[in-house]
């Protein structure tokens, strides 16, 4: 495979181009996805390449956007429905969790819903309480849904392709602060299946399970800690539903310590579930309680000073790791 | 008689809509409505007696709407239903055995005992299910209509909902999107006058819900929901319009449910008076069609009576089938959460 550097958003965009070229049943709808290419350039060039039948601007109507996707998916198409900001899932939530997620089960298995929902989550841009959230735990709690959170350019392409090819309703949460981040991306079309964690970095003293952009912060923390003689292994679950518990548990059995990092608020976050899974599967291997680094239990604040205090970063992760390995 | 209001609402089908009715059509529509009526009455009794689990929202009184609309659809046309969905399913072609089996929660049911009354339907007959979230099925039907347009396969979609659902955002969003994209869909509002226990006058200013069509730039039609031939006639026109690429129609069928919002026993609190119920029962859709059929010498009283008795026998057999069907195995509880 030929590989070159692409930005996170360009990699996502290339994946969408390629999967749409390969499968005429894939179409894209959402607010300003066609003429404008999406507010984050996620959909640049798609209208030009695939035309107005397959790339459509919608009214501002999130319930109808997702509901249309559910109905079209139940008829065998592969809709990609964009919700722009992750905070907007609340507007469409009935269609996501009562309809898309449950249709197969409550109708006795007779219908599949190969729907992909794209959206952008995460903070760090002074976008305040309604444009900064990380709501993955909310979605991962619903049987029937899958939730992907790419943390690299490579994964942004592979996970959007994997989501579209998956026969279940899947939400792909792009991270707003990573859009311009570059990484190696193969030119060819490839898919990352749901439920396969990525061992981002190998280490022996502690396992950091990092979600979305926190992989970047954890990687910075790991470099600092390495200089201090602490060897960090980083696991990126890539999808929080399904969760690749095996890879996480295998790592913790090796390192005997775990720190979980996410942007979402700590209480009831996906870190609580991961912590519980670790303790159920590897309690006897643990040399310290499983720790979490996450946002405090408040809405996301606007002020850069407040938001910096709100969001986990490399320094806070490193401090927690030092405490967990007994060097705090 | 056709009239048009200032907001463009059309009342009733075109003149002479019942002139060319045939014996075959009367028999088909009559059997369709009787199948719903008897299924519902039996199901209601079975739940009240404790023989069957769950709770039921019975369609009795509204049979003409589902039967009339569905008589112009094919299996390839998609339909979304409501919590009051048995009638839609039967009209779309669902069979008694898997329907009763589903209500009993058995593996032979349409949903393998996973859905029950509120999610019943045969996905192989163009049903995107009954839906227990008021208004939840409307955007999904728009998606089915989008698929029809995307594939250019000549099919249409139909979405059924009540008067109460037209107050929820999903209705507004869905109808607007279908309108702006000229999607081939029929929006059928079954206006039975009550959103659960709240009378229409207490939940909206409008008398004719069809007037809402004007705000989306599509036609709105009011039809007598107790006249199956009239319902069929307006559905024919709406399907023609949809297939011609001209987009959706909002049909408001004025109808009535004879039983309570849920169950068969009657009203816990008297939110409707007995005279009102009786007045609607006087205009019963099945009786009306029997009068038309016999007055025009198309179908004899004996033939109508035979339909009732044949349907009754079929239902009793289906109930036995359901009772004797295997229970689901708790070991399979995770099956069909995901497509693997």
Quick: pLDDT tens for A78-101. Answer: 999 999 999 999 999 999 999 999
The residues of A annotated as belonging to the active site are 62, 131
* A72 and A169 co-located in one domain: yes
Q: How far is it between the farthest Cα atoms of chain A?
A: 60
Query: Does A23 touch chain B if contact means CB atoms closer than 8 Å?
Result: no
Tell me the average pLDDT of chain A: 97
Task: Reply yes or no on whether the pLDDT at B322 is more than 60.
Answer: yes
CB contact under 8 A, B111 and A27: no
pLDDT of residue A203: 98
* A252 and A146 co-located in one domain: no
* A286 and A167 co-located in one domain: no
How confident is residue B248, by pLDDT bands cut at 50, 70 and 90? very high
Task: Reply yes or no on whether the pLDDT at A268 is more than 80.
Answer: yes
The residue behind tokens 């069957």 is B52
Task: Reply yes or no on whether the pLDDT at B58 is more than 50.
Answer: yes
Decide which of A134, A159, A186 is a domain's last residue: A186
Query: Domains in chain A: how many in total?
Result: 2
CB contact under 8 A, B142 and A76: no
Task: Reply yes or no on whether the pLDDT at B46 is more than 70.
Answer: yes
Task: Reply yes or no on whether the pLDDT at A37 is more than 60.
Answer: yes
Residue B110 has its nearest CB partner, among A108, A167, A168, at A108
CATH assignment of the domain containing B191: 3.40.50.970
- What value does the mean pLDDT take over residues A49-58? 98
Decide which of A127, A153, A186 is a domain's last residue: A186
pLDDT of residue B270: 78
Query: Does B31 touch chain A if contact means CB atoms closer than 8 Å?
Result: no
Among residues of chain B, what percentage have pLDDT more than 70? 97
Position B203 in a domain: yes
Which range marks the domain in which residue A274 is found?
198-324
Position B296 in a domain: yes
Position B152 in a domain: yes
Position A193 in a domain: no
Lowest mean pLDDT across A148-152, A320-324, B47-51: B47-51
pLDDT of residue A188: 98
Interface with A, mutate which of B119, B126, B140, B161 (most A CBs under 10 A): B140
Which range marks the domain in which residue B43 is found?
6-14+23-325
pLDDT of residue B1: 45
* A154 and A272 co-located in one domain: no
Q: With contacts defined as CB-CB under 8 Å, which chain A residues touch B339? A: 104, 112, 114, 167-168
Position B207 in a domain: yes
Structure tokens given for B259: 């039983």
* A159 and A207 co-located in one domain: no
pLDDT of residue B6: 65
CB contact under 8 A, A70 and B139: yes
Position A192 in a domain: no
* A271 and A320 co-located in one domain: yes
Task: Reply yes or no on whether the pLDDT at B273 is more than 90.
Answer: no
Position A118 in a domain: yes
Tell me the average pLDDT of chain B: 94
pLDDT of residue A278: 98
Position A191 in a domain: no
Q: Using an 8 Å Cβ cutoff, are A265 and A295 in contact?
A: yes
Position B282 in a domain: yes
Q: With contacts defined as CB-CB under 8 Å, which chain A residues touch B138? A: 67
pLDDT of residue B4: 67
The 10s digit of each residue's pLDDT in B249-262 is 999 999 999 988 88
CATH assignment of the domain containing A55: 3.40.50.970
pLDDT of residue B15: 82
Position B336 in a domain: no
Is pLDDT larger for residue B47 or for residue B7? B47
Decide which of A165, A186, A207 is a domain's last residue: A186
Q: With contacts defined as CB-CB under 8 Å, which chain B residues touch A75? A: 78, 143-144, 147
- What value does the mean pLDDT take over residues B131-142? 96
Lowest mean pLDDT across A33-47, A133-147, A159-173, B120-134: B120-134
Position A235 in a domain: yes
CA distance B177 to chain A (A): 7
Q: How far apart are CA B89 and CA B43, in angstroms?
A: 14
**Full 3-state SS string of chain B:** CCEECCCCEEECCCCCCCCCCCHHHHHHHHHHHHHHHHHHHHHHHHHHCCCCCCCCCCCCCCHHHHHHHHCCCCCCCEEECCCCCHHHHHHHCCCHHHHHHHHCCCCCCCCCCCCCHHHCCCHHHCECCCCCCCCCHHHHHHHHHHHHHHHCCCCCEEEEEECHHHHCHHHHHHHHHHHHCCCCEEEEEEECCEECCEEHHHHCCCCCHHHHHHHHCCCEEEEECCCHHHHHHHHHHHHHHHHCCCCCEEEEEECCCCCCCCCCCCCCCCCCCHHHHHHHHHCCHHHHHHHHHHHCCCCCHHHHHHHHHHHHHHHHHHHHHHHHCCCCCHHHCCCCCCCC
* A132 and A207 co-located in one domain: no
* A158 and A231 co-located in one domain: no
Position B225 in a domain: yes
Position B239 in a domain: yes
Position A50 in a domain: yes
Closest residue on chain A to B98 (Cα): A108
CATH assignment of the domain containing A283: 3.40.50.920
CB contact under 8 A, B176 and A73: no
- What value does the mean pLDDT take over residues A298-303? 97
CB contact under 8 A, A95 and B170: yes
Query: Does A27 touch chain B if contact means CB atoms closer than 8 Å?
Result: yes
* A73 and A11 co-located in one domain: yes
Q: Using an 8 Å Cβ cutoff, are B32 and B54 in contact?
A: no
Task: Kindly tell me the burial class for residue B309, based on how many C-beta atoms sit within 10 Å of its own C-beta (0-12, 13-18, 19 or more).
Answer: exposed
For chain A positions 116-175, those within 8 Å of chain B (CB to CB) are 143-144, 146, 167-168
Closest residue on chain A to B181 (Cα): A58
For chain B positions 114-153, those within 8 Å of chain A (CB to CB) are 114-115, 119, 121-124, 128-129, 131, 133, 136, 138-147, 150
CA distance A219 to chain B (A): 34
* A71 and A130 co-located in one domain: yes
pLDDT of residue B14: 78
Q: Using alpha carbons only, what angle is made at residue B161 by residues B159 and B165, rounded to the nearest 5 degrees? A: 125
Query: Domains in chain B: how many in total?
Result: 1
- What value does the mean pLDDT take over residues A183-204? 98
* ipTM over cut 0.90: yes
* A117 and A167 co-located in one domain: yes
Q: Using an 8 Å Cβ cutoff, are A100 and A169 in contact?
A: yes
Among residues of chain A, what percentage have pLDDT more than 70? 100
* A103 and A180 co-located in one domain: yes
Is pLDDT larger for residue B271 or for residue B26? B26
Task: Reply yes or no on whether the pLDDT at A26 is more than 70.
Answer: yes
């Amino acid at each position: 495979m030929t590989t070159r550097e692409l930005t996170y958003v360009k990699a996502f965009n290339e994946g969408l181009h390629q999967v749409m070229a390969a499968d005429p049943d894939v179409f894209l709808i959402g607010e300003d996805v066609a003429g404008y290419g999406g507010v984050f350039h996620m959909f640049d060039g798609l209208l030009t390449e695939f035309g107005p039948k397959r790339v459509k601007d919608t009214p501002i109507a999130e319930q109808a956007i997702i509901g249309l996707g559910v109905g079209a998916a139940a008829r065998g198409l592969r809709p990609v429905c964009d919700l722009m900001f992750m905070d907007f899932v609340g507007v469409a939530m009935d269609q996501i969790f009562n309809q898309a997620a449950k249709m197969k089960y409550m109708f006795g298995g007779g219908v599949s819903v190969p729907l992909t929902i794209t959206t952008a989550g995460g903070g760090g841009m002074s976008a305040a309480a309604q444009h900064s959230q990380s709501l993955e735990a909310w979605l991962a709690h619903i049987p029937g849904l899958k939730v992907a959170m790419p943390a690299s350019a490579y994964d942004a392409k592979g996970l959007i392709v994997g989501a579209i090819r998956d026969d279940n309703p899947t939400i792909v949460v792009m991270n707003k602060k990573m859009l311009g981040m570059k990484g190696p991306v193969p030119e060819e079309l490839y898919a990352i299946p749901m439920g396969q964690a990525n061992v981002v970095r190998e280490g022996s003293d502690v396992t950091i399970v990092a979600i979305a952009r926190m992989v970047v912060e954890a990687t910075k923390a790991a470099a600092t800690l390495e200089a201090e003689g602490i060897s960090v292994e980083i696991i990126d679950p890539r999808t929080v539903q399904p969760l690749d518990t095996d890879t996480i548990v295998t790592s913790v059995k090796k390192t005997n310590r775990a720190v979980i990092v996410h942007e979402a608020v700590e209480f009831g976050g996906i870190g609580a579930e991961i912590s519980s899974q670790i303790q159920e599967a590897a309690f006897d291997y643990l040399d310290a309680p499983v720790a979490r680094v996450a946002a405090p239990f408040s809405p996301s604040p606007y002020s850069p000073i407040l938001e910096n205090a709100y969001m986990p970063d490399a320094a806070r992760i490193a401090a927690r790791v030092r405490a967990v390995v007994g060097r705090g | 008689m056709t009239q048009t209001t200032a907001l463009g609402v059309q009342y009733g089908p075109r003149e002479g809509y019942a002139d060319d009715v045939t014996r075959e059509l009367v028999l088909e529509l009559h059997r369709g409505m009787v199948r719903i009526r008897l299924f519902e009455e039996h199901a209601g009794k079975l739940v009240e007696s404790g023989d069957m689990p769950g709770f039921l929202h019975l369609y009795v009184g509204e049979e003409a709407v589902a039967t009339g609309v569905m008589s112009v659809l094919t299996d390839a046309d998609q339909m979304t239903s409501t919590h009051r969905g048995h009638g839609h399913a039967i009209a779309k072609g669902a069979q008694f055995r898997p329907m009763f089996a589903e209500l009993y929660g058995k593996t032979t049911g349409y949903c393998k005992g996973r859905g029950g009354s509120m999610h019943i339907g045969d996905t192989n007959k163009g049903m995107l299910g009954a839906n227990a979230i008021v208004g939840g099925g409307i955007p999904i039907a728009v998606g089915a209509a989008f698929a029809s347009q995307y594939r250019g396969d000549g099919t249409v979609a139909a979405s059924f909902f009540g008067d109460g659902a037209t107050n929820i955002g999903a209705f507004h969003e869905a109808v607007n999107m279908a309108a702006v994209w000229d999607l081939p869909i029929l929006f059928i509002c079954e206006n039975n006058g009550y959103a659960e226990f709240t009378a229409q006058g207490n939940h909206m200013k409008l008398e004719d819900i069809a007037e809402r069509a004007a705000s989306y730039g599509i036609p709105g039609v009011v039809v007598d929901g107790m006249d199956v031939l009239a319902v069929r006639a307006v559905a024919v026109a709406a399907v023609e319009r949809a297939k011609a690429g001209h987009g959706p129609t909002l049909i408001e069928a004025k109808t009535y449910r004879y039983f309570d919002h849920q169950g068969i026993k009657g009203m816990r609190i008297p939110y409707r008076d007995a005279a009102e119920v009786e007045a609607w029962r006087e205009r019963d859709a099945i009786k009306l069609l029997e009068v038309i059929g016999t007055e025009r010498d198309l179908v004899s009283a004996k033939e109508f009576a035979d339909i009732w008795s044949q349907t009754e026998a079929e239902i009793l057999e289906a109930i036995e089938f359901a009772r004797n069907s295997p229970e689901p195995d708790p070991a399979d509880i995770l099956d069909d959460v995901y497509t693997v």
